[in-house]
Amino acid sequence: MAYFAIIITNFRKLQNLVLYLMVIPLSEETQIKKIYSVFFKQDFPPDLILVLVWLTASIAAIYLSFLNETPVRIVLAVPVILVIPGYCLLTALFPKNSDIDLIMRMVLSIGLSIAIVPLIGLGLNFTPWGIRLDPIVISLTLFTLVTVIVSHFQRAILPSEERFRMPFSEIAGAFRREFLTIGGKKVDQILNVVLAIAILITIITAVYMITVPHEGEKFTEFFILGENRTATSYPAEIIPGQDYPMYVGVGNHEFGDVRYTIETWMLLTEFDNVTNSSHILAMDPNDRLVVTLAHNETTIIPYNLSVKKSGYNRVEFLLFKDIVYSPQLTGSDRINASYRELHLLVTVQ
């Protein structure tokens, strides 16, 4: 709990620093010189350089076709999710070498990363972009860049001997002394073992979730839009021979390529007040469209609704997935056999 109290205190200091930087008047020449000295005359810390290089490599592994299907993508992406966000935030909150020891810094980096990444995903869930690959990559990249800049500033304004420097050559020895050294309190040894096991389980779980993503619910979007591409302005009164512009949309979320067939049928229906249901008196084919979509692909197709003769009062849109039934299957049987169904109530004059 003491470490969390220190984190909150330092986070408030960091917040005050950011607010201070935002309100610095440009006329204050000394402040401008100070910022210039920090970002252009101070050496960039090697650990932050490694973070930026690793982040760049992971983005390349995600979007380059010859890398995104290889294990290299997983190796580079896991630290970006499990270590880097928390580490960058910690280096901004604790710029001094004496703030916390190396082991606790590494452990808290993983713990904070596990908290930060889901919070970023939760925030994206309430945006128009949603929780998808591109928004997540952009959000994590921006978060990392901002914390790296703040961390560099925080360290640069400290005396050189007080700045935190990642002792790369001492990491293995520090972990060995902390977790494998015999002696000391037995309770501390047990807690260290439990902590090491928890970190290992977290890493294995994250790798498994990335390599074997859970397949969510399979479904297909099927919708029709009016001439202004909204769910309004549908044709209600139709004259035979005239075209009525519309749009038909299909979205594939079936976790695989799907060949869709869209059929439009003209129906004459009659409502039975006794049974409180509609009966099909006539059903004639009107048009057919075929489209193949990959997973997570959505298409909106311009469509001109045209009727050859009068006597109908309903337009039926049927969507079939991978299979189309013979024309002999008509009426309610064909409608029930379709994968998705939409209809418009019209008057054909």
Each residue's pLDDT tens digit, 237-255: 888 888 999 999 999 988 8
- Determine whether 146 is exposed, middle or buried from the number of CB atoms within 10 Å of its CB (0-12, 13-18, 19+): middle
Average confidence (pLDDT) over 28-52: 69
Of 320, 340, 214, 327, the closest CA to residue 258 belongs to 320
pLDDT at 319 over 70: yes
Domain ranges of the chain: 2-211, 219-348
Domain 219-348: homologous superfamily in CATH: Immunoglobulins (2.60.40.10)
Q: For the chain, give the percent of residues with pLDDT over 90.
A: 24
Q: Please, are residues 233 and 300 in contact by the beta-carbon 8 Å criterion? A: no
Residues 287 and 251: their CA atoms lie apart, in Å, by 20
pLDDT at 320 over 90: yes
Q: Tokens 């800049």 correspond to what residue?
A: 149
- Determine whether 89 is exposed, middle or buried from the number of CB atoms within 10 Å of its CB (0-12, 13-18, 19+): buried
Q: How confident is the model at residue 10 (pLDDT cuts 50, 70, 90)?
A: low
pLDDT at 22 over 70: no
Q: What is the pTM of this model?
A: 0.53
Strand 237-238 and strand 347-348: the pairing is: parallel
The pLDDT score that the predictor gives to residue 326 is 85
The pLDDT score that the predictor gives to residue 231 is 82
The pair phi, psi for residue 301, each rounded to 5°, is -105, 125
Bigger pLDDT: 168 vs 63:
63
Average confidence (pLDDT) over 76-92: 89
The pair phi, psi for residue 82, each rounded to 5°, is -100, -20
Bigger pLDDT: 32 vs 256:
256
Q: Please, are residues 71 and 82 in contact by the beta-carbon 8 Å criterion? A: no
Residues 324 and 335: their CA atoms lie apart, in Å, by 12
Bigger pLDDT: 288 vs 171:
288
